[in-house]
Amino acid sequence: MTELGFDNKVAVITGAGNGLGRAHALELARRGARVVVNDLGGAADGSGGSAGPAQQVVDEIVALGGEAVANTDSVATPEGGQAIIATALDAFGRVDIVINNAGILRDKSFHNMTVDQINAVIDVHLRGAFYVTHAAWGHLREQGYGRIVNTSSNSGILGNFGQANYGAAKMGLIGLTNVLALEGAKHNIKVNAIAPVAFTRLTAELMPGFEEKLSPEKVTPVVVYLVSEECEVTGEIYSVGAGTVSRYFIGLTPGFATADLTAEAVRDNLATIRDETGYVVLRNNGQELKKIFTSLP
């Protein structure tokens, strides 16, 4: 069995000073990638900042014989996104892999959520992925190669009480993943998302006692595969944690169809409309249009 290798590849990993990003950075570096370890070094709610975490991970990588540089810009501004990618180009002359992982939490029930709490979370998770990926995109297109992983969450895919800001940002990343997978296809740029479950400082209180079973290192293998040259998939979402990996997808029920739909027909046929038997998983909106027209009597 050959190992997935990353010689001559440059990986940018945001929020890599702690938790999941740190685990991805160490493993990609171990496999030969040159790594930009980006981290603002703030608290779990995004406040503050310090060069410590990014530099510490760089030091760990170098001590293990790998190559890495630290970057402490925030992903949450266009300038930060540009500076993060510029660090890769300045240090290593290229960028092949972007792992959008930086994240913060500002949980509150929607009723009590402030505009600042909405914006801060959407800025880091969703806009941050836009800014960093946008700065890299032209380089990936030009070289005809790229691998991107966006870090989503079951809090968006399934919903989670008190996380309207976070859930919406994380589901926004699925939309970004879907569109970039289509736009990147002809340039050999593959774009996928993960919905991880891991014990980190963001989740420690929710999962007491699961530090080892849910270690971040158990998420990393899926990320390593998705950013490898051998990755065969794009536009997909993988649930991963504790050694399990599965694919999430959005399904469409066969539904109900009539040429003259009324509100009353929707009411009277709700069970048929919602029935999951025989659902399909579509890859693009052309397939949905076809399904609509072939469903009609």
Contact flags string 145-184 toward ligand NAI, x per CB under 6 A: ------x-x-------------------------------
- Applying CB under 6 A, which of residues 74, 133, 150, 215 lies at the interface with ligand NAI? 74
* The one segment of 9-17, 61-69, 136-144, 260-268 that binds ligand NAI by CB under 6 A: 9-17
How crowded is residue 286: how many other Cβ atoms within 10 Å of its Cβ?
A: 9
Site residues for ligand NAI, 51-70, by CB under 6 A, read 53
CA 265 to chain centre: 40
Instruction: Give dist(CA 108, CA 91) in Å, integer.
Output: 40
- Applying CB under 6 A, which of residues 120, 202, 226, 227 lies at the interface with ligand NAI? 202
Instruction: Give dist(CA 102, CA 14) in Å, integer.
Output: 5
DSSP 8-state symbol, 3: P
Active-site choice (131, 166, 225, 238): 166
- Applying CB under 6 A, which of residues 25, 28, 57, 75 lies at the interface with ligand NAI? 75
Q: Is 166 a catalytic residue?
A: yes
Q: How far is the CB of 24 from ligand NAI (least distance, A)?
A: 9
DSSP E strands: which ranges in the chain?
10-13, 34-38, 67-71, 97-100, 146-151, 189-196, 237-241, 244-248
Partners of 67 in the beta sheet?
34
Chain residue at closest Cβ approach to ligand NAI: 19
* Residue 213 touching ligand NAI (CB under 6 A): no
Nearest residue to 170 (alpha-carbon basis) of 248, 116, 223: 248
Distances (CA, A) of 25 to 33, 246, 253: 9, 23, 40
- Applying CB under 6 A, which of residues 39, 127, 129, 222 lies at the interface with ligand NAI? 39
CA 180 to chain centre: 12
Q: How far is the CB of 152 from ligand NAI (least distance, A)?
A: 7
Give the pair of three-digit tokens for residue 233.
Answer: 């998939």
Query: 293 φ, ψ to 5°?
Result: -75, -30
* Residue 37 touching ligand NAI (CB under 6 A): no
Contact residues for ligand NAI (CB under 6 A)? Answer: 14-15, 17-21, 38-42, 44, 46, 53, 74-76, 101-104, 124-125, 128, 151, 153, 196-198, 200-203
Question: Catalytic residues, which ones?
Answer: 166
